[in-house]
Structure 1
Amino acid sequence: MGAPIRSRAPRMKIATWNVNSLKVRLPHVLDWLAANQPDALCLQELKCENKAFPLAEIEAAGYQAQFNGQKTYNGVAILTRQPLADVSFDIPGFADEQKRIIAGTLDGVRIVCGYFPNGQAVGSDKFAYKMAWLEALTGWLRAELLVTPRLVLAGDYNIAPEDRDAHPDWEHEIHVSVPERDAFKALLGLGLVDAFRLFEQPEKSFSWWDYRMMAFRRNFGLRIDHLLVSPPLAEKCTACVVDKTPRKLERPSDHAPVIVEFA
């Protein structure tokens, strides 16, 4: 009698990527899906209305898509190989014309994809909007975690949470200010864990580089794209990395994908 056949333990791979125009970056996204085969890819800054979403191309690549878009700005989507259940849009109870949130459940994991406001400059009206948005998001997630303890908050946060997440010569206050970092800590206060920091990482690990001043070549960047995971998922997390490969292509997004894997 031969040895028993052992079934391979199920694994899950989730990625987040600000594509800075899905129309422009669609070939990159399709190639990346084929090469990496994530179970879910969270996209931000689609910059297209729902009617212009390239659903046929995504489905031809073997993925389904749920999306929340608007013309010219913002927009989020979640691409999955299996159907996404209980899909919701926007932050409940927070009046907002900007399309920045989409959520859905995949194999018992609640995935929240967010394109956090930039904030422009500390003290500006856009910064006040950013802080109000973050407060509303945190309140909503507090309730969500009571119902769905297995949760991933993926997206472009537009916050570099610690000094090591910004190039030492970063001179701007935006993305690194005390109020923004306190808002990030409030998300961690819900029990969420920064998956990237569960593992030893190279110094100056960033996920965004300006198009100007050869910033990518100089590695002058910020780590502002994050995957925060709830404790039950943190316990099963096996890897979290930034994939710089797409940033090296012609006409790339200024962001790189970030990938988390779970056993």
Structure 2
Amino acid sequence: MVWKMATFNVNGIRARLPIVLDWLQKEAPDVLCLQEIKCQEKDFPFKAFEAAGYHAAVRGQKSFNGVALLFRDAPEEIRSETGRDVIDREARFLAALMNGVWVVNTYVPQGRSPDDPAFQFKLGFLKELKSWFENHFDPGDRLIWTGDINVAPEPLDVFDPKRLEGEVGFHPEERAVLADVTAWGLEDVFRKIHPEVRQFTFWDYRLPKSFERNLGWRLDHVFATRVLAEAAVDCGVDVEPRGREKPSDHTPVWAVFDLSG
């Protein structure tokens, strides 16, 4: 069984709905993880996605944050909370079991600046997520952690590593914490398949012509336990949506797995 999943920080689902619907029609993933939907559940466009052949699970929040899962087949289980305040206090986490695979969709806090309390909140979020993995799963399970992780792991993942060293998103402390989370038993699927490729997933609106100049960051990831990483057939970044009119500042990342083994 070949199974395709994807992740996309839409930066407002109602504003980006035509782009997402077009992408679903073109790429037809089995599951699409959305972040930063910026709406409450009652305002989520369920009917539009149902018409496109997708069910939705949503954890929303008015005007900020928010995550959702779109899936073709009903999941076996959905978890919207972890029982850990740092993770659950905002709408940043949603997980589901489908086709024998746990998909954990997160919108990790951005962190603002290294001297802001929000940066420590970000580090705490990642540390608590690792503890949740340790307490509920085994590295031998079929599990994917995905979403807007808001950390570029390596110098290859930012447009200017010397200039950006120490900035939020490429700060050594958060990179170390991310590495500790993945050391539990997760592999970077994109980097496994494309070890030397410089490919970004985010281009800041605030930087003039950042997309046209390819001044980007790789902040959106698909991490998988070894059994799934070994089953990865392909993984890529679709930059086309970022170049459209009124785009998100992020673009979709997708991965294909052979689950027949």
C-alpha separation in 2, matches of 1:98 and 1:148: 29
SS of residue in 1 equivalent to 2:212: helix
Deviation of the 1:201 alpha carbon: 5.7
- Whether the aligned pair in 2 keeps the contact of 1:90 and 1:99 (CA below 8 Å) is no
Deviation of the 1:92 alpha carbon: 2.0
Deviation of the 1:247 alpha carbon: 0.6
C-alpha separation in 1, matches of 2:222 and 2:13: 21
Deviation of the 1:21 alpha carbon: 0.1
Deviation of the 1:144 alpha carbon: 2.8
Q: 2:90 is aligned with what amino acid?
A: Q
C-alpha separation in 2, matches of 1:200 and 1:69: 34
Match of 2:225 among 222, 230, 254: 230
**TM-score normalised by the chain length of structure 1:** 0.93
**TM-score normalised by the chain length of structure 2:** 0.94
Question: What's the counterpart of residue 202 of structure 2?
Answer: 208
2:160 is the counterpart of 1:165: no
**CA deviations over 1:73-113 (Å, ceiling 9, x no partner):** 00000100000221011332325431000000111000000
Deviation of the 1:248 alpha carbon: 1.0
Question: What's the counterpart of residue 19 of structure 2?
Answer: 28
> Is the alpha carbon distance of 1:148 and 1:114 closer, same or farther for their aligned partners in structure 2, counting shifts above 3 Å?
farther
* Mapping 1:31-180, distance limit 5 Å: 31-95=22-86, 96-146=88-138, 149-168=141-160, 170-171=163-164, 173-180=167-174
Deviation of the 1:204 alpha carbon: 2.8
C-alpha separation in 1, matches of 2:81 and 2:10: 19
2:257 is the counterpart of 1:259: no
C-alpha separation in 1, matches of 2:92 and 2:236: 24
Larger radius of gyration: 1
Structure 1 ranges of 4+ moved more than 4 A? none
Question: What's the counterpart of residue 239 of structure 2?
Answer: 244
Structure 1 vs Structure 2: percent identity of aligned residues? 39
Gaps of 5+ in 1: 1-9
Gaps of 5+ in 2: none
In angstroms, what is the RMSD of aligned CA positions? 1.5
Pairs aligned (count): 254
Question: What's the counterpart of residue 175 of structure 2?
Answer: 181
C-alpha separation in 2, matches of 1:141 and 1:237: 21
Q: 1:189 is aligned with what amino acid?
A: A
Match of 1:197 among 191, 196, 211: 191
Deviation of the 1:225 alpha carbon: 0.2
C-alpha separation in 2, matches of 1:189 and 1:250: 39
Q: 2:45 is aligned with what amino acid?
A: P
Deviation of the 1:241 alpha carbon: 0.4
